[in-house]
């Protein structure tokens, strides 16, 4: 199906089924309605699953969304569900102090996930598999193999898999093997051939997907692509591993372990060593989820529960296969027509083609919009700074970074060129701790001045600063962004970044870096930036209060907020207060939204949508009407307790009128989406947003062409530059 045809099928797409998640509302400690954050997150992950079942999404992209859904869910259980399981283990006294019931939340989560997993299996078995067959891509099971393919599978097992499968016979109360986190295993139900009345016996075998590809291409005719999953090669070969036994059946299992790092919040001790110690424990943490094939008989499940010391809250049914994030690696056979049509990122000519990038930034602020623009301008900013003889200092905050990073290479080259380079590394960036520690050690070896995390506070701001000597005076240049300094995620995350030499901004960015380096509170404070731990929360509250006062005076009062997550109860209460005062509030929330829009007596003036599409919506944009002055901020911060209370974040103003108009145009495009936008409401039905327009508006495609049009209208770099 062509892109045009897909877009014109908007009305048909609305028939993609949704399901009600049940009674989701609860009340906060201050007695206003909210949706519990993890229930809201599961609703978001269902929006990802909706993409997998949308027939207008190209086939290989639907497989990718199955992978994203599964990857998201794995992290959820390793972190969030592990947290609830910990609450279940605490004393009754502590439970009474909670205004929520951990047991009820765990039950609600399990019910929602169980429904979603059944939907996942249905999509895969009844939609994806048949559509693959239409293109002669056949995912075979062991009983489907012809003789040639059986021989291939048997040889593949002996040549490649035998050293890794680790067969273990389970003996009750005697042999309890350790299950590695997220590793795939096959449980084997078998009987001894030597006994006249053989009793049930059980074993486990590892499926070595951590060593070998999950999808193996089989010999087939020229017009076919036959594949088999590694799991089914093990199933085919399992009888060889247990001579003297007859195999009755096999079922797949997987154990997910608690991945949260428990790091004290005291300002003492060696935090880096604490991180390293916690990382060694991550793979051996307590169970947070035991996934098993829903076809598994009850007696086998009972045996495994006892063998691996599991309880009912650990158990979760799935289909025949687990670790479905491996669909990221499903072979595409070079068939681009089954993927999204290309949207090649455009050059940001004003900076990429400039002979002096700093002169261009000095002339005016520049706003870059990924992934519609190339990331080259950001890379070139650092490479140019590393070579420029007038640059004396380069500073950057590193939260997540690419494994092969041109930016990090430029920083190390800058040291060789005599620059003073300072990098603040957040080693508590979840699941990136090891990579960040490796980069920290490499940078230190190169001579970079490296600062590490504060205990109790994460540094999540996306900032860089360059000091340059011009005509004997110091000149500062800054790059502030909603996303990380990561060349790879910039291709798939929707983010914005600002290059500026505006003294109002760059001097305050300099104060942030001084604080990170010295841990001394800046004497001058922040008048333009909103900075976590200083004025971010109070600044946002003041901006909302201003709109409330305008509404009470009968004036126009509006707030538009785009972010990943809205969870902070104080901010939700403030937005409810604004709605009751008559402030019109429009929300674009990709993930968690604990606020309940459109609720009588609380949020009649609040509407909310979520957009899930080919790119991950990651930019945070806050717009306040402000009596016609229209204040616009870009930010690294979501409105969650952790961002507003326990992180160094930034929200930075956009002062250039042309750039403000570009951001407002982008928001209008997002709010007009009637293809990929879902309505967020009290029922969490994830209904697709419809309007009266006959034209399909898909925001991420419209934004691409908008950027293309505005890019063509941008001034070329001056000849003097």
* Residues that are catalytic: 460
Q: Backbone phi, then psi, for 609, in 5-degree steps?
A: -130, 165
Strands 584-589 and 558-563: parallel
Q: How many C-beta atoms surround the C-beta of residue 331 within 10 A?
A: 14
CB 637 within 8 A of CB 662: no
Count of CA atoms in the C-beta half-sphere (13 A) of 321:
25
In whole angstroms, give the CA distance from residue 60 to residue 64.
6
The 10 Å CB-count burial string (b at 16+, else e) for 246-260 is: eeeebbbbbbbbbbb
In whole angstroms, give the CA distance from residue 441 to residue 702.
43
For every residue of 110-143, DSSP letters joined together read HHHHHHHHHHHHHIIIIIIHHHHHHTTEEEE-GG
For every residue of 491-549, DSSP letters joined together read GTEEEEEEEE--HHHHHHHHHHHHHHHH----SS--SSSEETTTTHHHHHHHHHHHHHH
- C-alpha distances in Å from residue 164, one per residue of 184, 234, 256, 292, 625: 12, 11, 20, 21, 62
In whole angstroms, give the CA distance from residue 167 to residue 243.
12
The DSSP output letter for 79 is: I
Q: Backbone phi, then psi, for 151, in 5-degree steps?
A: -60, -40
**First and final C-alpha spacing in the chain:** 46
CA dihedral of residues 335, 70, 699, 658 (deg, nearest 10): -110
Give the containing element (helix H, strand E) for 433: helix 433-446
From 408, 461, 449, 454, select the one nearest 272 (Cα to Cα). Answer: 454
Strands 287-293 and 463-470: unpaired
- Token pair of 243 as six digits: 């001579």
CB 478 within 8 A of CB 652: no
* Residues near 593 by beta carbon (within 8 Å), at least 6 away in sequence: 35, 40, 565, 566, 587, 608, 610, 680
Dihedral over Cα of 638, 642, 644, 647: its sign: negative
């Amino acid at each position: 199906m062509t892109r045009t045809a897909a877009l014109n099928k908007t009305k048909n797409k609305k028939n993609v089924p949704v399901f009600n998640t049940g009674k989701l509302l609860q009340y906060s400690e201050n007695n206003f309605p909210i949706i519990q954050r993890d229930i809201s997150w599961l609703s978001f992950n269902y929006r990802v699953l909706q993409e997998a079942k949308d027939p207008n999404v190209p086939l290989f992209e639907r497989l990718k969304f199955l992978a994203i859904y599964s990857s998201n869910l794995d992290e959820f259980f390793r972190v969030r569900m592990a947290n609830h399981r910990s609450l279940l283990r605490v004393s009754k006294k502590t439970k009474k102090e909670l205004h929520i019931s951990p047991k009820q939340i765990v039950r609600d989560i399990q019910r929602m996930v169980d429904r979603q997993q059944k939907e996942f299996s249905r999509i895969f078995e009844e939609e994806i598999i048949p559509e693959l067959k239409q293109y002669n891509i056949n995912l075979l099971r062991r009983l489907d193999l012809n003789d040639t393919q059986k021989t291939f599978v048997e040889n593949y097992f002996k040549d490649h898999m035998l050293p890794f499968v680790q067969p273990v016979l389970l003996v009750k109360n005697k042999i309890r093997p350790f299950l590695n986190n997220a590793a795939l295993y096959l449980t084997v139900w078998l009987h001894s051939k030597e006994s006249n009345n053989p009793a049930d016996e059980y074993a486990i075998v590892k499926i070595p997907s951590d060593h070998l590809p999950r999808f193996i291409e089989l010999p087939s005719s020229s017009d076919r692509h036959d594949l088999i999953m590694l799991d089914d090669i093990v199933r085919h070969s399992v009888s060889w591993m247990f001579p003297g036994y007859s195999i009755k059946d096999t079922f797949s299992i997987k154990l997910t372990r608690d991945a949260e790092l428990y790091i004290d919040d005291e300002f003492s001790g060696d935090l880096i060593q604490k991180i390293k110690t916690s990382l060694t424990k991550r793979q051996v943490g307590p169970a947070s989820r035991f996934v098993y094939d829903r076809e598994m008989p009850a007696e086998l499940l009972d045996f495994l529960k006892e063998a691996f010391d599991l309880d009912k809250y650990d158990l979760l049914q799935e289909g025949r296969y687990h670790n479905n994030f491996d669909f990221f690696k499903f072979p595409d056979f070079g068939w681009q027509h089954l993927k999204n049509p290309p949207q090649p990122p455009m050059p940001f000519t004003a900076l990429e083609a400039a002979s002096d990038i700093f002169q261009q930034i000095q002339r005016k602020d520049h706003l870059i919009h990924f992934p519609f623009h190339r990331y080259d301008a950001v890379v070139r900013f650092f490479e140019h700074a590393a070579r420029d003889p007038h640059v004396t200092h380069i500073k950057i905050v590193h939260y997540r970074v690419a494994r092969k990073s041109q930016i990090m290479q430029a920083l190390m080259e800058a040291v060789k060129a005599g620059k003073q380079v300072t990098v603040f590394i957040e080693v508590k960036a979840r699941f990136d701790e090891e990579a960040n520690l490796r980069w920290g050690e490499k940078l230190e070896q190169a001579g970079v001045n490296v600062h590490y995390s504060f205990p109790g506070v994460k540094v999540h701001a996306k900032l860089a600063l360059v000091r340059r000597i011009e005509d004997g005076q110091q000149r500062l240049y800054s790059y502030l962004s909603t996303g990380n300094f990561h060349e790879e995620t910039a291709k798939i995350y929707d983010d914005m970044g600002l290059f500026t030499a505006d003294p109002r901004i760059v001097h305050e960015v300099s104060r942030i870096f001084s604080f990170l380096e010295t841990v001394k509170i800046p004497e001058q404070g922040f008048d333009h930036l909103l900075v976590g731990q200083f004025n971010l929360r109070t600044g946002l509250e003041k901006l909302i209060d201003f709109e409330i006062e305008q509404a009470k005076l009968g004036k126009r009062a509006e707030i538009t907020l785009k972010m990943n997550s809205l969870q902070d109860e104080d901010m939700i209460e403030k937005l409810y207060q604004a709605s009751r005062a008559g402030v019109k509030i429009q929300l674009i929330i990709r993930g968690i939204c604990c606020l309940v829009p459109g609720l009588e007596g609380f949020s009649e003036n609040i509407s909310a949508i979520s957009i899930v599409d080919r790119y991950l919506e990651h930019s945070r944009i806050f717009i306040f009407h402000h009596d016609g002055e229209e204040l616009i901020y870009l930010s690294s911060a979501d409105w969650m307790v952790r961002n507003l209370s326990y992180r160094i974040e930034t929200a930075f103003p956009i002062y250039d009128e042309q750039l403000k108009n570009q951001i407002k145009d982008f928001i209008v495009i997002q709010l007009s989406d009637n293809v990929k936008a879902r309505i967020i409401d009290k029922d969490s039905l994830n209904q697709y947003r419809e309007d009266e327009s006959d034209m399909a508006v898909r925001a991420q495609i419209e934004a691409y062409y908008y950027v293309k049009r505005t890019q063509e209208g941008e001034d070329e770099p001056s000849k003097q530059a």
